[in-house]
């Protein structure tokens, strides 16, 4: 837009210059002034269109809420007002003085003076022309009786005597007979029109003041020359004489001035209108240029403000990267520099804040990573004992989703009567009883992993941190079981060591008593002796079996891990059992991966589990034992299910402890041995009762990988 406005201003200045120039030059006024007016009208129309377009753009900006547009409108209004008021005064005064000046141009005295000057010039020229005519007639009489031989010499003499510029003698056909000219004349005569020669031969002399091709004025006279020597034919003499230079100039000036004056006088009213239109057009172009230029200046003044507005919006949106160039050294430039400095400081402050935030996030991520990899469950509570955060281990142990625990108090965990609600109530009680102090307690929790023993510790957050509490709990079930297993192993080792040694002498002593006294006693006494010694021997054998079982539990052989086909091992063991009597249902997965295990120990596991299932079924007619294998991620799972009575609920937490058995004569070492073997294989075992009745035992073993055991 800037270049369009500058082009319009340049065009307006050129047109104004042409208007002023044409008003000062009469020929240009008569020929070029209308064209200039038309061009000025076109320029004014273009300027009107430009100003209109600028106003439309300004209105659109105001509607769109562009910052600075209202200020531009106000500046445009004041600029226009400042331009219009003095222009209106100047225009009114100019029109008044223009009309008065034009009227003075056509005063009667001026008209009479110009007319008198023209008449005076004409009279002077007429006198000179009459004198030249008389001089021409005398020369014609002199030449009438001269022969053609001495004509040129005579004409030269006569020209010098009469002080004329040029003498030319023509025949009756217009041909040149003789010619005499001065030094400043050309070599050829100035020929008149043949009609003028014919007019002079008819005794009608011709005398006029004429303008030559070079612009000079001459007096031309044509008179007849009568002679008897040319067979009575009439010749014509042409006399040319230059008009005096001073008289010529004065006459031309007066004549031109009078002619111009008459032309202007005829169009006096039109001249007034023409100058009025020119003046109005000049004012219009000047006003339009002023308004257009004021719009451009307003835009230039509002540009720094718009720049600041854009920068302010960018800063409000969090963008501190915009640095605006300073294009002036005034107060607006200083304001932009201050704004840039402020933006830079805000950017640096945000960078520092982002750096601190990043460090905080990294620390938070580090803490979350640590908490996520802790084996302990961690729960953060606020001062009202509502959950604010908890780690994945806590969710895993509690067996619930975060949305069911967050923003809730422990007494609101789980469902009414459930294990999680009971655990939450115990936690709440611990916090209430030890308000503001550290407390620790071991709680039983029947979670998703079965019966668990949790070591719970409640701690208030230190001062200077947001008020609240931390709840940390560890699943010490395996630890306690390991301690119990170690204790039972030690008991089994000591039992095997302390009890096995006296059992053999007791058995041998009983056998010797029977051998020594059996032949000496008779009747009832002999029968009593035999029954008593048999009882001693049977009980010693039973104790030996129990001691052997404890010894096996205490001294579990080390597993020799290798690749093993679990399906083949299961089929091998099942051949030792009556499939029909036990109601065996075998479902072995196809393409089962090889497991990492010891065939001897795992065969003992399968035998033990099948034997327990068979013992649990007893003489049940619809006995059913299901043996299945399947692949689960990087594990192979063996499940053995029966439809017997299942495990008593009071023994579920102690099934893998020695001497925890439901059999009248059992030692309770079967499942503990199975568990130790499975753990030796880096596997896991899970025991549960089925809803429809019966026990369900799952053994999970790792898959064998080439180059490693699992």
Question: What DSSP letter does each residue of 93-136 carry, written as one string?
Answer: HHHHHHHHHHHHHT-HHHHHHHHHHHHHHHHHHHHHHHHHHHHH
How far apart are the C-alpha atoms of 60 and 388, rounded to whole Å? 54
Strands 684-689 and 377-382: unpaired
562-702, which class in CATH? alpha beta
pLDDT at position 270 is 54
Whole-number average pLDDT of the chain:
75
How far apart are the C-alpha atoms of 48 and 174, rounded to whole Å? 68
For residue 551, pLDDT beyond 70: no
How far apart are the C-alpha atoms of 655 and 671, rounded to whole Å? 7
pLDDT at position 662 is 64
pLDDT at position 700 is 92
**Fold topology of 126-250:** Beta-Lactamase (3.30.450)
Average pLDDT, integer, range 209-230? 73
pLDDT at position 147 is 59
Of 260, 275, 206, 261, which is closest to residue 236 (Cα–Cα)? Answer: 206
How far apart are the C-alpha atoms of 696 and 356, rounded to whole Å? 55
For residue 531, pLDDT beyond 70: yes
* pLDDT tier at 698, thresholds 50, 70, 90: very high
pTM for this predicted structure: 0.39
How far apart are the C-alpha atoms of 189 and 155, rounded to whole Å? 13
CA 621 and chain centroid, separation: 78
**Contact assessment for residue 409 and residue 471, using Cβ atoms and an 8 Å cutoff:** no
81 vs 121: which has the higher pLDDT: 81
Strands 176-181 and 166-170: antiparallel
pLDDT at position 114 is 58
pLDDT at position 28 is 47
Convert 313-327 to b/e letters by CB count within 10 Å (16 or more is b).
Answer: eebeeeebeeebebe
Q: Which of 71-75, 396-400, 546-550, 635-639 has the highest mean pLDDT?
A: 635-639
Please give the structure tokens belonging to residue 648. Answer: 């008593």
Of 80, 76, 58, which is closest to residue 1 (Cα–Cα)? Answer: 58
How far apart are the C-alpha atoms of 237 and 143, rounded to whole Å? 9
217 vs 99: which has the higher pLDDT: 217
**Contact assessment for residue 596 and residue 701, using Cβ atoms and an 8 Å cutoff:** yes
pLDDT at position 703 is 92
Please give the structure tokens belonging to residue 210. Answer: 């004429």
709 vs 92: which has the higher pLDDT: 92
What's the Rg (C-alpha) of the chain? 69
**Contact assessment for residue 294 and residue 80, using Cβ atoms and an 8 Å cutoff:** yes
* pLDDT tier at 389, thresholds 50, 70, 90: confident
Homologous superfamily of the 374-473 domain (CATH): PAS domain (3.30.450.20)
pLDDT at position 594 is 92
pLDDT at position 581 is 80
Average pLDDT, integer, range 602-631? 87
How far apart are the C-alpha atoms of 258 and 111, rounded to whole Å? 8
Specify the DSSP element, H or E, that contains 685.
Answer: strand 684-689
Distances (CA, A) of 174 to 142, 177, 178, 230, 664: 20, 9, 12, 15, 177
Torsion sign (Cα): 559, 564, 566, 567: negative
How far apart are the C-alpha atoms of 120 and 127, rounded to whole Å? 11
Question: What DSSP letter does each residue of 290-350 carry, written as one string?
Answer: HHHHHHHHHHHHHHHHHHHHHHHHHHHTT----------SSHHHHHHHHHHHHHHHHHHHH
Question: What DSSP letter does each residue of 447-513 carry, written as one string?
Answer: ETTEEEEEEEEEEEPPTTS-SEEEEEEEE-HHHHHHHHHHHHHHHHHHHHHHHHHHHHHHHHHHHHH
CB-based burial of residue 696 (10 Å sphere; 0-12 exposed, 13-18 middle, 19+ buried)?
Answer: middle
Average pLDDT, integer, range 644-653? 79
* Residue 412, helix vs strand vs coil: helix
Q: Which letter does DSSP use for residue 583 in this model? A: T
pLDDT tens digits, one per residue of 255-265: 666 666 655 55
pLDDT at position 385 is 84
């Amino acid at each position: 837009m800037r270049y369009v406005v500058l082009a319009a201003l340049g065009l307006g200045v050129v047109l104004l210059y042409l208007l002023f120039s044409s008003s000062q030059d009469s020929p240009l006024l008569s020929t070029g002034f209308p064209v200039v007016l038309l061009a000025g009208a076109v320029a004014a129309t273009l300027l009107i269109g430009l100003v209109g377009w600028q106003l439309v753009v300004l209105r659109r900006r105001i509607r769109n809420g562009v910052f600075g547009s209202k200020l531009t409108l106000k500046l445009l209004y004041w600029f226009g007002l400042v331009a219009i008021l003095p222009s209106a005064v100047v225009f009114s005064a100019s029109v008044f003085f223009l009309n008065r000046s034009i009227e003075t141009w056509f005063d009667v005295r001026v008209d009479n003076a110009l007319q008198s000057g023209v008449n005076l010039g004409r009279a002077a020229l007429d006198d000179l022309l009459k004198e030249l005519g008389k001089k021409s007639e005398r020369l014609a009489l002199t030449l009438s009786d001269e022969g053609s031989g001495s004509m040129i010499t005579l004409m030269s003499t006569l020209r010098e005597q009469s002080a004329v510029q040029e003498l030319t003698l023509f025949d009756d056909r217009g041909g040149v007979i003789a010619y005499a000219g001065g030094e400043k004349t050309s070599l050829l005569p100035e020929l008149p029109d043949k009609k003028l020669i014919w007019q002079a031969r008819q005794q009608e002399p011709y005398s006029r003041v004429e303008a030559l091709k070079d612009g000079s004025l001459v007096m031309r006279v044509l008179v007849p020359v009568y002679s008897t020597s040319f067979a009575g034919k009439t010749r014509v003499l042409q006399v040319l004489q230059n008009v005096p230079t001073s008289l010529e100039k004065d006459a031309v000036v007066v004549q031109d001035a009078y002619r111009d004056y008459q032309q202007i006088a005829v169009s006096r009213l039109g001249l007034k209108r023409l100058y009025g239109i020119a003046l109005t057009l000049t004012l219009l172009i000047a006003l339009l240029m002023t308004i257009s230029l004021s719009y451009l200046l307003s835009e230039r003044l509002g540009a720094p403000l718009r720049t600041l507005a854009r920068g302010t919006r960018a800063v409000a949106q969090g963008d501190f990267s915009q640095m605006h160039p300073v294009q002036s050294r005034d107060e607006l430039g200083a304001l932009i520099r201050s704004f840039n400095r402020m933006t830079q400081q805000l950017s640096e402050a945000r960078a520092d804040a982002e750096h601190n935030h990043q460090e905080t996030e990294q620390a938070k991520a580090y803490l979350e990573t640590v908490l996520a990899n802790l084996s302990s469950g961690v729960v953060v509570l606020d001062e009202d004992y509502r959950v604010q955060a908890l780690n994945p281990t806590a969710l895993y142990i509690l067996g619930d989703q975060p949305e069911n625990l967050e923003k809730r108090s422990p007494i609101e965990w789980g469902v009414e009567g459930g294990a999680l609600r009971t655990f939450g109530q115990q936690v709440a009680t611990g916090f209430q009883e030890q308000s503001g102090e550290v407390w620790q307690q071991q709680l039983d929790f029947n979670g998703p992993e079965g019966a668990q023993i949790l070591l719970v510790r409640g701690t208030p957050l230190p001062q200077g941190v947001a008020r609240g509490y931390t709840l940390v709990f560890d699943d010490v079930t395996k630890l306690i079981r390991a301690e119990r297993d170690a204790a039972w192993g030690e008991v089994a080792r000591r039992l095997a060591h302390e009890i096995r040694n006296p059992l053999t002498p007791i058995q041998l002593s009983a056998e010797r008593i029977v051998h020594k006294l059996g032949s000496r006693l008779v009747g009832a006494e002999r029968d009593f002796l035999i029954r008593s010694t048999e009882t001693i021997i049977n009980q010693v054998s039973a104790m030996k079996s129990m001691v052997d079982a404890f010894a096996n539990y205490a001294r579990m052989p080390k597993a020799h891990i290798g690749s093993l086909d679990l399906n083949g091992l299961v089929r091998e063991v099942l051949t030792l059992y009556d499939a029909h009597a036990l109601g065996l249902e075998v479902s072995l997965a196809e393409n089962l991966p090889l497991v990492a295990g010891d065939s001897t120990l795992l065969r003992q596991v399968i035998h033990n589990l099948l034997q327990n299932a068979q013992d649990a079924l007893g003489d049940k007619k619809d006995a059913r034992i299901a043996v299945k294998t399947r692949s689960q991620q990087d594990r192979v799972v063996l499940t053995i299910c029966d439809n017997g009575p299942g495990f008593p609920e009071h023994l579920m937490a102690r099934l893998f402890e020695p001497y925890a058995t439901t059999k009248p004569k059992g030692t309770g070492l079967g499942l503990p041995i199975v568990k130790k073997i499975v753990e030796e294989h880096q596997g896991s075992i899970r025991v549960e009762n089925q809803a429809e009745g019966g026990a369900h035992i799952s053994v999970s073993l790792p898959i064998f990988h080439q180059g490693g055991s699992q």
